[in-house]
Every structure is written in structure tokens, then in C-alpha cells.
Chain A
Amino acid sequence: MTEKDPREPAAGGSPAGPEKSTAGTSPAPGQAAKPAASASRRGFLSWLVLAWIAFTAAMTAGLTALTRFLFPNVLFEPPSTFKAGPPSEYGIGIVDERWKERFGVWIVRDEEGLYALSTTCTHLGCTPNWLSADEKFKCPCHGSGFYKTGINFEGPAPRPLERYRILLAEDGQVLVDKSRKFQWEKGQWEDPESLLKA
């Protein structure tokens, strides 16, 4: 029953009933009231625009910070550059597996020099095994095979293994830089930094 009470005057006439009747009899007071009303409306709209800009800016800043939160400042991963001992440790035709576990790199020496092969299969990113008896890298996931040079010859791998930048450090050690890679299909194995003649 209490709910009905506020409705009753509304049904009889608008809540602003008395004002409406004065506006109806003399237009002058209504016009006089108008500038103040429109000025406050304009003020409200500019505040509204300002509020929307502030809100959008705050949301953008918040979302940016939230995205940034997913990228940690410190990574507990092996460094992308590492020293791999003197070049004399590497014999011709031998695939060195010492750096596979920690850095994901095979260092191989052929007649020309040393190269650093990535241990990531170019098919779907598994890690192949070096089968010394068969003289090939064989991926356990889907059977891709690569020659000692890294060239693919069997299975679904679409391109050869990638090589990393390899050079001689100041102290005479082999330095492997994984931040730069050389792809055979792009002709990058011709790059002098993809092969260490030492």
C-alpha cells in the first residue's frame, strides 16, 4: 500500500505540475529560465566528455600495466650468448653435444670450420637426437631427419636446421650468439658470421 502513495500525485499531474502551469500562463518566466538550464546542460556535457576521456585513459593505462605484468623483468633462462671453449677442442666431423642440454646448440666442425646448429626441429619445434651410427639428426616427434650440415632430407621438416652466429672471443674461446640466426633457405649460410674458420 505504501508503494501506491508516490504514484498517486504522478497520476494526477506531473511532479512539476505547479511550475508547468506558471510556464503555461506567461511564457516570459519560462524563457528566462532557459539560458541557465542550457548553460548547465552544456557544462554537464563538457564534464561528461572529460569524464569519458579520463575513464578511457585510466582503462588504457590499467590494461597496459596488466599486459606488462605478464612479462617478467628477470628470466631464469640460460643466457643467449655463451663461450664454448677453445676451437681446438672440436675435431673434424664430430657433432659436439655438450651445449645441447643447457643452450640448445650443437657445435660441428667440418673441413671449412665450426658452425653452431640450433637443436630446434624446423617442423614443430621438438628437439631431435644425434644418431652417430646413422650420421643424422632424427626428431622423435614426427621423424624428421637432418644431415650433419643441418640440411633436411626426410620426414615433415620443411627447411634445414637454423645456424647461430659463431665467432672467436677475445680470449680465444668460441663464442656462440643465439640472438642472431642464419637460415639456409634465405642464403644466410653464406654469411661469414655463420661459420668460424678457426
Chain B
Amino acid sequence: MDLKELLDPKKLLSYVRGTQVYKSAFRHGMPENVRNRALVVLSNVFLHLHPSRVRTSGIRLKYTWCMGGLSFFIFLVEVITGLLLMFYYRPTVEYAYVDIIDLGEQVPLGIMRELHRWGAHAMVITVWLHMLRVFMTGSYKPPREFNWVIGVLLLVLTLLLSFTGYLLPWDQLAIWAITVGSNMARATPFLGHEGPGASLLALGGVNLVHSGSDVRFALLGGRFVGAGALLRFYVLHCVAIPFVATILMSIHFWRIRKDGGISGPM
């Protein structure tokens, strides 16, 4: 093959497609027929979660509002901006507040933190609208009832991500909001020291569930919102909840495919 042939785009393309590097990555021909188009989706680890074919009604904006896709897009925005913020933010009582100020004033692209915060608000809205759409179109009905439950769990995780992220700026608003919010955990049945049934769990008059052993304590790492709570919320926000959410999202997308694609209009 001489240099002149390489300058011809068509010949260059057919050369690239013939190389071992290309053929080892893409094990199907060009998506020029129905079979190859299906293979493109099926042989890609990311695309195979997606239905290999989509109903025409499924891509109508009036029907889906694209809210599921937008929620996923915003999640990716949150992952990327969040990872970038982690390069500067230190989850300690000494540095947390100052680092947040510095992220706005001393770091290039000071809008990064605001993007992350606005994204969080937007994601709650889009997830909620997605749920509304699924409800109004009856898309939760069999065979999609399992996926609805996964979706409800994902809504809860979205709210928990917002809740745990809210503490990280470590200002008065954050501390008291989490103080108020985590007080709900006191009232957990059996597991919270002020919840129903907690007083039943006692040995010889000594309560087993008290303010130093209940579920709120496990969440905060202490009896009040302090250094332990900041670190725990940071780990939950950056690692634990996104990890679980990613797994559930994979199941959520894959089940759309398994349950027959995006539901059709009634």
C-alpha cells in the first residue's frame, strides 16, 4: 500500500477495517444491514444493556420526555465534576469549609462546584419527572413491575446522594440540616433509640439501643454531627452510594431491554 492510497479516505477506511487491531475490537461488519446493526448493539458491553431496536413511539419526545436519558446524563455530569472536586476537597473539620470557598475563588473554573450542585438539583427534578412519566403512561405495569421497584430504589439513592452531599460544605446550613435530617433516624423502629420497640430491647433494665448504639450513631459515627459524620457522609457520597447506584442503573437499563423495550403508547 503506497502513500497515495492512504490519502484516499475510502481506501484508508477499508485498510483500517482490515487491520488486526480493528478486527479484534469490532467483530462485525459495518452496520449496513439489519443483522450488523443488531450486532453493533449486542457486541458492545455498554450498548448491550440497551434494547437492540427501539419502537418509533419510544423515541417520540412527547412520550418519554427523555427524562430517563437526561437523568443518566446528569449522573455522568455529577460523576465527572465530582471526581474533579475530589482533587481539592478534604473532608475534615479543619479544611472542609475553606476548601469549598477555595474551590470557588482560588481554583480555575470556579463554576465546577456550582455545576455539581446545580446538577444535583436538576437530577432530583429529572428523576422525579421520569417517575411521573412512567406512572402516567402506565409503564410500571407487568412485565415492567420489577423495573419500577428498581426505579424507586434509584430515586431513594438520588435523594440520599443529595442528602449526603449537603453536609460536605460544612457551613451552618449544612450542619443543622443534617442534624435535623439525621434525627429522623432516632425514630427508626427497634434500631433508633427513640423509635418504637427500642425500649423492648433491654437486658436487665439496661437498654441495648441507646444514643451510642443506635442506627443514627452508625450513620454519624458519633452522638452529634461532628468530624466522624463529615467523613462518613463523604465516603457514602463519593463511593458507597454511587457504587450501588451504578449497579442498580445497569440492571434498570438492562431490564428495559428484557421487558420488551420502551413501553408503547396505550
Give Cα A71–Cα B221 distance, bound, in whole angstroms: 7
B176: Cβ under 8 A from any A Cβ: yes
| Chain B residues, Cβ within 8 Å of A71 | 213, 217-218
The answer to whether A72 touches B221 (Cβ under 8 A) is yes
Asked if residues B176 and A76 are in contact (CB atoms below 8 Å), the reply is no
User: Is A77 in the interface zone, CB < 8 Å from B?
Assistant: yes
Whether A75 is near chain B, meaning CB under 8 Å from some CB there, is yes
Contacts of B183 in A (CB 8 A): 124-125
Size bracket of the A interface: 10 to 19
Complex Cα distance, B212 from A72, in Å, reads 10
Hey, what's the 0/1 contact readout for B177-209 against A, CB within 8 Å counting as 1? 001100100000000000000000000000000
A183 CB, min distance to chain B CBs, angstroms = 12
B68 CB–A CB distance under 8 Å: no
Judge whether B226 is part of the interface by a CB distance below 8 angstroms: yes
The residues of A that contact B223 with a CB separation of less than 8 Å are 75, 77
Task: Decide yes or no whether A131 CB sits under 8 A from chain B.
Answer: no
Q: Is the CB of A125 within 8 A of B180?
A: yes
The residue in chain B whose Cβ has the minimal distance to the Cβ of A140 is B176
Q: Can you list, as one digit per residue, whether each of A15-48 has a CB less than 8 Å from chain B (1) or not (0)? A: 0000000000000000000000000000000000
A70 at the interface (CB under 8 A from B): yes
User: With an 8 A cutoff between CB atoms, is A126 at the interface?
Assistant: yes
Are the C-beta atoms of B180 and A75 separated by less than 8 Å? no
Question: Judging by beta carbons under 8 Å apart, are A126 and B180 in contact?
Answer: yes
Chain A residues, CB < 8 A from B58? none
B222 touches A124 (CB 8 A): no
Decide if B176 touches A126 in the complex (CB within 8 Å): yes
| Interface membership of A51, Cβ < 8 A | no
- Distance of A67 Cα from B226 Cα, bound (Å): 20
Determine if A50 is an interface residue (Cβ-Cβ < 8 Å): no
Interface size class on chain B is: 10 to 19
Which B residues lie within 8 Å of A125 (CB)? 179-180, 183
- Per the 8 Å Cβ criterion, residues 37-85 of B in contact with A are none
Q: A141 to chain B: which residues have CB within 8 Å?
A: 176, 180
Across the interface, which residues of A come within 8 angstroms of B179, CB to CB? 124-126
Report the nearest A residue to B175, measured CB to CB. Answer: A126
B residues less than 8 Å from A77 (CB atoms): 222-224, 226
Residues of A within 8 A of B227 (CB): 76
Chain A residue at smallest Cβ distance from B224: A77
* Contact status of A124 and B213, CB under 8 A, knowing A72-B221, A75-B222, A77-B222: no
Set of chain B residues within 8 Å of A70, measured between Cβ atoms: 218, 221
Which B residues are in CB contact (< 8 Å) with A72? Answer: 221, 228
Mark A66-91 against chain B: 1 for CB-CB distance below 8 A, else 0.
Answer: 01001110011100000000000000
Closest Cβ–Cβ distance, residue B190 to chain A (whole Å): 14
Q: Write the nearest CB–CB distance from B40 to chain A, whole angstroms.
A: 26
Give CA–CA (A72, B227) in the complex, Å: 13
- Report how far A101 CA is from B231 CA in the complex, Å: 22
Q: How far is the CA of A172 from the CA of B37 in the complex (A)?
A: 87
Instruction: List residues of chain B with CB within 8 A of the CB of A67.
Output: 218
A181 to B: closest C-beta gap in Å? 10
Shortest Cβ distance from residue A5 to the other chain B in the assembled complex, whole angstroms: 25
**CA of A57 to CA of B226, assembled, Å:** 36
Alpha-carbon gap, A167 to B100, bound state (A):
45
Which chain B residues (202-247) contact chain A, with CB distance < 8 Å? 212-213, 217-218, 221-224, 226-228
Task: List residues of chain A with CB within 8 A of the CB of B218.
Answer: 67, 70-71
Nearest Cβ distance between residue B188 and chain A, in whole angstroms?
14
Name the distance in Å between A126's Cβ and chain B's nearest Cβ.
5
> Sorted from nearest, which 9 A-B pairs have the closest CB atoms?
A124-B180, A125-B183, A70-B218, A125-B179, A126-B176, A124-B183, A141-B176, A77-B222, A125-B180
Write 6 A-B pairs (CB below 8 A) sorted by A numbering.
Answer: A67-B218, A70-B221, A72-B221, A76-B227, A125-B183, A141-B180
